[in-house]
Amino acid sequence: MSWPLTASGMSWAWICVGCSNPQSRIPLQRSLESPRSPNVVLESNISFMMSLPRFDSVSCGRSYSNRVERHGTVTFQPIQPYRGICSTEPMHGTSTLQIDLDAITHNVGQLRALCAPGVRFCAVLKADAYGLGATGVMSTLKQAGSSMFAVFSPTEACELAGFDMPILILMPVMAEDIPIELIEKLTAGSIHFVIHDTSQMESLDSLGRRLGIGLPVHLKIDTGLHRGGCSPRDAVIMVRAIQRSSALELAGLMTHFAQAASSEQVTSNQMRQLDAIVEHLSSELSPETIIHAAGTCGALRGGDYQADMIRIGLAWSGHLTNAAGDLGDRLAEPLQPAVTWRSRLVLTRMIGIGDRVGYGGDWVAERPTRLGLIPVGYANGYPIDAATPEDGGPGLAVDLVLDDGATAMSVPVIGRVSMDQLMVDLTEVPEEMGVGTPVDLISSRPGSPCQLSSISKRLGRSPHSILVQINSRVERVYVHGGNQWQAHTDSRPQVEIPSTNAVAG
């Protein structure tokens, strides 16, 4: 929060007049402004008189004076806000996506521990690191042991190209697809391309010749996924063509498993095809050529599939695909979910028996019901069918966070999710948990019904698809060692993590 000195030596602080003790104090961002919350009123020791509008007593149940006159001198004094019912803790927007960098470090360590010491770790950062913010997690992934990043497109590579790490572009890229700003980075040799067919190989070969450099490339071999890559029968010919080129450097041979989460037999068959090609070319391949096939589930299946490098996607954030089953049990310690999507209650109210909630009136109160409104909806990326899954069964729940921050009470989402808001049933919740109470839409707490894995299973869709739907207007906040910092709009890689006690400019 910025502290503009529009009136030198003067600031305002606010307290809830309905409480016996000050619950929060905040500086105003402009001199002579009205307070931004209906729960706060001008504190003493202000050197002028002003009028305040009369506010309705929504959360405290107290009435407020509409005119205040105080005299004295006030100086700036930052005070940490109380996280209770009258909290005015700043939340830019209506929710934040909190990413626990310590959990990411733990997860990378656990996955690397499955591998032999020489096996490399490639962190996949497609779709802006699955919506978590690639530039916000890159430093942590590198420090945890990642030696390469993978993205899908040249555009994604451009966003990360200022970071000193090799970047593997998975998409079939033709020379004309490469933005000019990325071409400027090619001479450093840190941008690697995946070759899928001969036309792409020829296009990149031509580009390398024009630039007078050798482009690092990985030849992808289609062993069963049938989503890209050359056929196994063409692989040897293409490898030799790349080896003959002065504009291409064979940096890797790769494939992609189709059913690593669910079928050992299919995965083993794919690996055998890759191994046969590598064996056939053993006398022609450089020792520096990286052989790689395994994503997360392939890596969890053991050393037979890990080759020289594993490519880890969402698992570095502590989540596995639903089909992984008990593969996660092969880790020495469980992965730690790194994602919390947090909002707050902004309104509570009572309705009677028979009252309907939301568009269409699909949810009907069967008892006097206390409702809570959360300012997040499907425009933010929250699942539109949260309360009404296709199978007709129970909907999702959210967690109301208790004062200690470590425990929570789960309450059901009711009625249709709207564009910018959703409703929950607070009838079983203590009355003091009202407006301002933190709410976790996605929780990292063990056993929570709104863990990403639980939401994924209940709705029958992958955790990846849920995360990437969270709108970019939801602020990303990175947490490390109890400190936190926010995503920067200039998208620069962030290495130093400032303390929350510092006043942000």
Is residue 280 in a domain? yes
pLDDT bracket for residue 56 (50, 70, 90): very low
The vertex-215 CA angle with 211 and 219, nearest 5°, equals: 145
What the block records as the tokens of 389 is 């899954």
Domain that holds residue 253: 101-330
> Are 324 and 345 found together in one domain?
no
> Are 221 and 174 found together in one domain?
yes
> Are 184 and 316 found together in one domain?
yes
Q: Which of these is catalytic: 64, 142, 220, 359? A: 359
Active site residue 126: yes
**pLDDT mean over 40-45:** 36
The enclosing domain of 371 has a CATH number of 2.40.37.10
Which of the residue ranges 218-232, 267-281, 391-405, 450-464 would you say has the lowest mean pLDDT?
Answer: 391-405
The enclosing domain of 154 has a CATH number of 3.20.20.10
According to DSSP, the residues that pair with 124 across neighbouring strands are: 150
Determine the pLDDT at residue 7: 31
Active site residue 457: no
- What 3-state DSSP class applies to 184? helix
Based on the structure, what is the number of domains in the chain? 3
For residue 486, what are the contacts with CB-CB under 8 A and spacing of at least 6?
92, 475, 476, 477, 478, 504
Give the rounded percent of residues in the chain with a pLDDT score beyond 90.
Answer: 72
According to DSSP, the residues that pair with 122 across neighbouring strands are: 148, 311
pTM, two decimal places? 0.79
> Are 130 and 16 found together in one domain?
no
Is residue 458 in a domain? no
**pLDDT mean over 107-125:** 97
How far apart are the C-alpha atoms of 6 and 390, rounded to whole Å? 55
Which residue, of 35, 58, 88, is where some domain finishes?
88
More confident residue, 246 or 18: 246
Chain segment 126-163, per-residue pLDDT in tens: 999 999 999 999 999 999 999 999 999 999 999 998 88
**pLDDT mean over 210-225:** 97
Determine the pLDDT at residue 244: 97
> Are 33 and 137 found together in one domain?
no
> Are 246 and 196 found together in one domain?
yes
pLDDT at 197 over 50: yes
Q: Which of these is catalytic: 64, 126, 305, 478? A: 126
- What 3-state DSSP class applies to 14? strand
> Are 178 and 197 found together in one domain?
yes
How far apart are the C-alpha atoms of 392 and 270, rounded to whole Å? 39
The vertex-146 CA angle with 145 and 150, nearest 5°, equals: 175
Mean pLDDT of the chain: 82
pLDDT bracket for residue 76 (50, 70, 90): very low
